Amino acid sequence: MRDDFVTGTLWPAIVAVAMLILPASCGNAVKRASMTDALPKTISGFSSPKSIAVTADGKRIFVSNMGAQSNPSAPSAKNNDGFISELTPGGAIVNMKLLPKEGYLNSPGGMTIINGILYVIDVDRLIGFDINTRETIFETDFSYEKTAFLNDLAVREDQGEYTLFMSATDIGKVYELFLNQDGIPTRYFETAAGIAGPSGLYYDKPTDKLYVVSLGDGTNGELGVIGFRKNKAGYKALTGPLGSLDGLARFDDDNLIFLNMGSFDKPGALSAFNLKTLILNPRPLTITVDASGATDFIYSRERSVIWMLKTLEGTVTLSAVR
């Protein structure tokens, strides 16, 4: 994945709350020529969009739709009406229902792409699709882990070998999945437990650390980090209770950004945390549109442009960041 385009998964656990601004959960560059259209720009017609993923060359963009029957406050619904859409870098819809070609999706959520395979979380299972043939490559069931809210994915690459990190919000755990040469999970183990509602994930390769934001009970979510020493993982909180947090991405060389979804009487905000000073930035960045109801984003560092999904409105919006 390239550093100039990053994504973060944002999930409103309490229903839509007002979200405005923030300083910046895996991504890639969109071609410069595709950003010539005036911003902000809104694409409509989606069905409870939840997450977004981009290919390494930035030419193909995928959006997961939980479906018309989905309740945004209950993303674990199994109603077989979910699907994946494909967009161009300029925001045109290529195929509203690209996936699945066969079978079904319930309420697809977090996604990432590795070597032509689109990894999609769907309630309590992980599914892999070939984005060129549209065929299903694998399906892994995690229901025996007693989870119904798998949430986000992050990727670790080491000399051509890939690992997926996956958050399970409802049971407070983060898993690590090992992929074989064909990109199929062969084994997994519990990386961390006891986190109050882990949601957005971001893996930092230079430091070999996995950053996690959590929903908490809606008021006490925090930003934390999982470090790996001598093949042992340990979780440490980096902030105190901040609110209901989701979505996590690299904003610049020093800062991570994530969504604090606020409450009904307090607008949400896009918050930045400085990894060098370990201080939460009190001043959020400004975007050119109202972020209320946003559930996921892709941020282009090169162009200072953010793509936001709004689940309740069924839209994807491109906005400049100042």
- Residue 280 neighbours by CB distance under 10 Å: 16
How far apart (Å, rounded) are the C-alpha atoms in residues 268 and 271? Answer: 9
Q: Judge whether 189 and 200 are in contact, CB under 8 Å.
A: no
Q: What residue has token string 């980096």?
A: 238
Q: Judge whether 37 and 8 are in contact, CB under 8 Å.
A: no
Calculate the CA dihedral of residues 296, 163, 4, 209 and round it to 10 degrees: 90
| 3 state DSSP class of 251 | coil
Summary mean pLDDT of the chain:
83
State which amino acid sits at residue 298.
I
Whether residue 307 has pLDDT greater than 70: yes
pLDDT tens by residue, 213-236:
999 988 899 999 999 887 788 999
Q: What is the pLDDT of residue 10?
A: 40
State which amino acid sits at residue 50.
K
- pTM, rounded to two decimals: 0.86
Q: What is the pLDDT of residue 183?
A: 97
CA atoms within 13 A on the CB side of 320: 8
pLDDT tens by residue, 246-293:
888 898 899 998 887 755 455 667 788 999 999 998 766 667 766 666
All structural domains of the chain: 5-320 (2.120.10.30)
Which is more confident, 150 or 1?
A: 150
How far apart (Å, rounded) are the C-alpha atoms in residues 91 and 67? Answer: 20
- Categorize the per-residue pLDDT at 161 as very low, low, confident or very high, splitting at 50, 70 and 90: very high
Tell me what the mean pLDDT of segment 72-86 comes to: 83
